[in-house]
Amino acid sequence: MSFARAITAAMAALLVAAPSLLAGEIPPDERRSGYTFMGPDTRAMQDDDTSNPGMLFVLDGETLWKQKLGAAGKACADCHGDARESMKGVAAHYPAFDKALGRPVTLDQRINLERTQRQQAAPLAYESHDLLALSAYIANQSRGIAITAGDDPELKPFVEKGRELFMQREGQLNLACANCHNDNFDKHLAGSPITQGQPTGYPEYRLEWQTLGSLERRLRSCMTGVRAQAYDYGSPEMVALELYLMSRAHGMTMETPAVRP
Amino acid sequence: MASALINVPRKAKRGDVIEIKALTSHIMETGFRRTAAGDLVPRDIITSFNCRYNGAEVFRADFFPAIAANPFISFFTVAKESGKFEFEWIGDNGFSSTASASIIVE
Amino acid sequence: MAVLRKIMQTTRRDFLGLAGGAAVAGAVPIVTLRPLEATPETLNAAIRNVVGEAAVRSGKVKLDIPPLVENGNTVPMTVSVASPMTADDYVKSIHVFNEKNPQPNIANFYLGPSAGRAQVATRIRLADSQKVVAIARLSDDSFWSVSTDVIVTLAACTEEVN
């Protein structure tokens, strides 16, 4: 075989082996949860449900799930029954496409849509205790289940937008998410390990916050960290980023509520 | 608001040394932080925790602002008899919270 | 020149004192700030508060803290004392202190023979790399201590409060 043909054959083999990898993306079997970047003490905090502070929020969510409210006087449980059955795998599939709105919505947005449309109650503020508790309770029902977000073909343009935002340099420090989380994970930034940024455990209990918080809160603090103006909660950019990140983590296991430094 | 998560073994043999874990939600505001305007955020912490085993105190703790938010505590006690563990958290601004757990000792 | 050399030889705390003195004299306009950390004096005072005039011996107590902490806001800590925990020989209390937080006390734990094992775990806050000291009081009112150095790095990305 001539040299040129050997090179072409090798390149063809590579392309066939990894058709969907773009430059810089982490190969699927090399993806790791943030759990693997933490020390044993922080992992121990997550492992035991009676010492995981995120579980306090899951318990509150369980109470809220059964609470009748709004002009309709309905509880989530009235339509959705036992969350352990009806919500199994749901959070692993979010952000999901909403046909009526013609765009993806996050789990938090879905909870608020249900509240306003079916319970006829006021929507919950982003990062409010009740919204975090409900989303933690629902996402906890997906713990141990593989992420399936981004599967829907209607989501394709939004995943693309999210990928674009992930790769785009921003802020005074002129850094893209990809610069740290694709290209430099496992190295350290000011003493802390850089993870791959896989959102497998949201909403998560972050020791820095000393409370539970959403993926959007984490993204906003990263953006502030590179001295960029952070996107608003629930903005189309946030939703696209969240969708892209979840689809980037497709197949990884949900861990909500995670504990992270 | 969930007050606490308790971990007490459901069953134990008489004389066993068992581990008890308790986690409760509380902001544990240190009193050393300042708002953006520069005003001091007043202290609001749990100041003490105690555990009674069938009425008798078996463990007590004083907490200071250096205890992390959502305080967690783990301690040991000898399983003497079946009955009830009662937990109490007391803090600033009249804070008071209780929880309990039962144990069968054979 | 002589003044400069003296300043180079002094510690930061002494320098602040010097600067304060100079400000009073009107020579150098420097503002002295109250150090927002427990100094060795306040740490010792806090320990004396518990121990009184009794001697404190090293030993018997063990402090388990990760040497390099992932986040100073929540640091898992386990303190244990080697003791048979019988009716005649047990641990009455354990007191934990720190060196550089705004306040020297962390927690006091009160045990007794019914504890079975003198071991308590909790999560603490550490403002900076510093020493943590644990002192145990035994049933014979003797005091035993251990101290450990912990390194605390700051979180890489600070955030505005949302």
Q: Which residues in chain B touch residue A129, judged by CB atoms under 8 angstroms apart?
A: 1
Cβ–Cβ below 8 Å for A51 and B70: no
Cβ–Cβ below 8 Å for A50 and B70: no
C61-83 average pLDDT score: 93
Please indicate, yes or no, whether residues A84 and A41 belong to a single structural domain of this protein. Answer: no
How many domains, in total, are found in chain C? 2
What is the residue extent of each domain of chain B? 4-105
Q: Mutating which of B27, B50, B51, B75 best tests the C interface, going by the most C Cβ atoms within 10 A? A: B75
User: In this structure, what token pair is assigned to residue B41?
Assistant: 């955020």
pLDDT of residue B38: 86
pLDDT of residue C11: 44
Residue C1 confidence (pLDDT) above 50: no
Please indicate, yes or no, whether residues A169 and A230 belong to a single structural domain of this protein. Answer: yes
pLDDT of residue A186: 87
Please indicate, yes or no, whether residues C133 and C62 belong to a single structural domain of this protein. Answer: yes
Fold classified for B4-105? Immunoglobulin-like (2.60.40)
pLDDT tens, N- to C-terminus, chain A (261 residues):
566 665 655 555 544 444 456 667 899 999 999 999 999 999 999 999 999 999 999 999 999 999 999 999 999 999 999 999 999 999 999 999 999 999 999 999 999 999 999 999 999 999 999 999 999 999 999 999 999 999 999 999 999 999 999 999 999 999 999 999 999 998 988 778 999 999 999 999 999 899 999 999 999 999 998 999 999 999 999 999 999 999 999 999 999 999 999
Please indicate, yes or no, whether residues C136 and C71 belong to a single structural domain of this protein. Answer: yes
The verdict on residue C92 lying in a domain is yes
pLDDT of residue C27: 39
Q: Which domain CATH number covers A97? A: 1.10.760.10
Smallest CA–CA distance from B17 into chain C, residue:
C116
The verdict on residue C158 lying in a domain is no
Low-confidence stretches of chain B (pLDDT beneath 70) = 1-2
Please indicate, yes or no, whether residues C99 and C147 belong to a single structural domain of this protein. Answer: yes
pLDDT of residue C33: 36
Please indicate, yes or no, whether residues A209 and A195 belong to a single structural domain of this protein. Answer: yes
- Where b means 16+ CB within 10 Å and e means fewer, A212-239 reads bbbbbbbbbbbbbbbebebbebeeebbb
Q: Which residues in chain A touch residue B5, judged by CB atoms under 8 angstroms apart?
A: 49-51, 55-56, 59
Q: What residue has token string 């309990």?
A: B100
A137: Cα separation from own chain's centroid: 15
pLDDT of residue C109: 98
Q: Which of B67, B76, B78 sits opposite C124 (nearest CB)?
A: B67
Closest CA to A149 of A259, A42, A253, A15: A253
Cβ–Cβ below 8 Å for B74 and A211: no
pLDDT of residue C68: 83
List, by residue number, the catalytic residues of A.
222
Residues 6+ apart with CB under 8 A from C100: C37, C38, C126, C127, C128, C129, C130
Please indicate, yes or no, whether residues A77 and A197 belong to a single structural domain of this protein. Answer: no
Please indicate, yes or no, whether residues C73 and C140 belong to a single structural domain of this protein. Answer: yes
Choose one of A140, A171, A194: the last residue of a domain.
A140
Please indicate, yes or no, whether residues C129 and C76 belong to a single structural domain of this protein. Answer: yes
Cβ–Cβ below 8 Å for C157 and A222: yes
* Residue C6 or B71, more confident: B71
